[in-house]
Amino acid sequence: AQSVTQPDIHITVSEGASLELRCNYSYGATPYLFWYVQSPGQGLQLLLKYFSGDTLVQGIKGFEAEFKRSQSSFNLRKPSVHWSDAAEYFCAVGASDYKLSFGAGTTVTVRA
Amino acid sequence: ETGVTQSPTHLIKTRGQQVTLRCSSQSGHNTVSWYQQALGQGPQFIFQYYREEENGRGNFPPRFSGLQFPNYSSELNVNALELDDSALYLCASSDSGQGWGNTEAFFGQGTRLTVV
């Protein structure tokens, strides 16, 4: 069975500073990995996904993530955070049967 | 903005009652999945429907049931509501024939269910 761990429950970052959110996964086959963002009271929006090829993937809103098979990690990064990036971020692994397993999420607070 | 719509957006029910939540999937998508997101947690997989058949179920009791219709819209039914059923219920649609590399799960805005 697949699982996802997001070690950081809450991160506070200054506007304009860089951001990195950690994600570790457990899956027996080639993982399909996703990062979603959820604003308060909203559904989930896909930021980016990895399924094969280049281990550095680019997403929307200036986010990128790097897949490291040796570390079972898929960390999300953004070079310069904007106040609108304050939200909850979820890492997920997708099985071949199209079910997603999510981590518990990381809440990002952006201070001025 | 995705084409997945859920109704209602908010709902308050009493313990022991039954509730039906609805989801209209994105055009062309044949798979609908339902997730429960308790406060402060990540979404948990409830079950999935593919072409009107249940196609996998998470660790939820039988009082959670569902339907998928020929137009691929879906319902989630919960009987004998308990206080712990209070959560955001998310519906996601995808096109299972395309593979994860060529599709994604599009989520609706969710239904906030409060059981009192």
Q: What is the pLDDT of residue A40?
A: 84
Which of the four pLDDT bands, split at 50, 70 and 90, describes residue A2? Answer: confident
Q: What is the pLDDT of residue A85?
A: 96
Q: Which of B4, B31, B100 is facing A94, going by the closest CB pair?
A: B100
**What whole-number percentage of chain A has pLDDT above 90?**
77
Q: What is the pLDDT of residue B105?
A: 84
A29 contacts on B by Cβ (under 8 Å):
none
More reliable by pLDDT, A28 or B57: B57
d(CA B24, CA A87): 26
Sign of CA dihedral B114, B34, B5, A64: positive
Q: What is the pLDDT of residue A71?
A: 93
Question: Quick one: average pLDDT of B60-71?
Answer: 94
User: Taking 90 as the threshold, does the pLDDT of residue B63 lie above it?
Assistant: yes
Backbone angles phi, psi at B54, to 5 degrees: -65, 130
A74 touches chain B (CB under 8 A): no
**What whole-number percentage of chain B has pLDDT above 70?**
92
User: Taking 80 as the threshold, does the pLDDT of residue B97 lie above it?
Assistant: no
Q: Do B56 and A99 touch (CB under 8 A)?
A: yes
Which of the four pLDDT bands, split at 50, 70 and 90, describes residue B80? Answer: very high
Query: Which of B32, B35, B100, B111 should we substitute to test contact with A (largest number of A Cβ atoms within 10 Å)?
Result: B100
**What whole-number percentage of chain A has pLDDT above 70?**
97
Of A103, A110, A88, A77, residue with least CA distance to A37: A88
User: Taking 80 as the threshold, does the pLDDT of residue B51 lie above it?
Assistant: yes
Q: What is the pLDDT of residue A38?
A: 95
User: Taking 70 as the threshold, does the pLDDT of residue B4 lie above it?
Assistant: yes
Please give, rounded to a whole number of angstroms, the shortest distance from the CA of B79 to a CA of chain A: 24
Per-residue CA distances from A49 to A3, A38, A90, B20, B110 (Å): 16, 16, 12, 32, 22
A31 touches chain B (CB under 8 A): no
Q: How many CB pairs under 8 A join A and B?
A: 66
Question: Quick one: average pLDDT of B4-24?
Answer: 97
More reliable by pLDDT, B26 or A11: A11
Which of the four pLDDT bands, split at 50, 70 and 90, describes residue B100? Answer: low
Which of the four pLDDT bands, split at 50, 70 and 90, describes residue A27? Answer: confident
Q: What is the pLDDT of residue B98?
A: 56
Please give, rounded to a whole number of angstroms, the shortest distance from the CA of B81 to a CA of chain A: 22
pLDDT mean across residues, chain A: 92
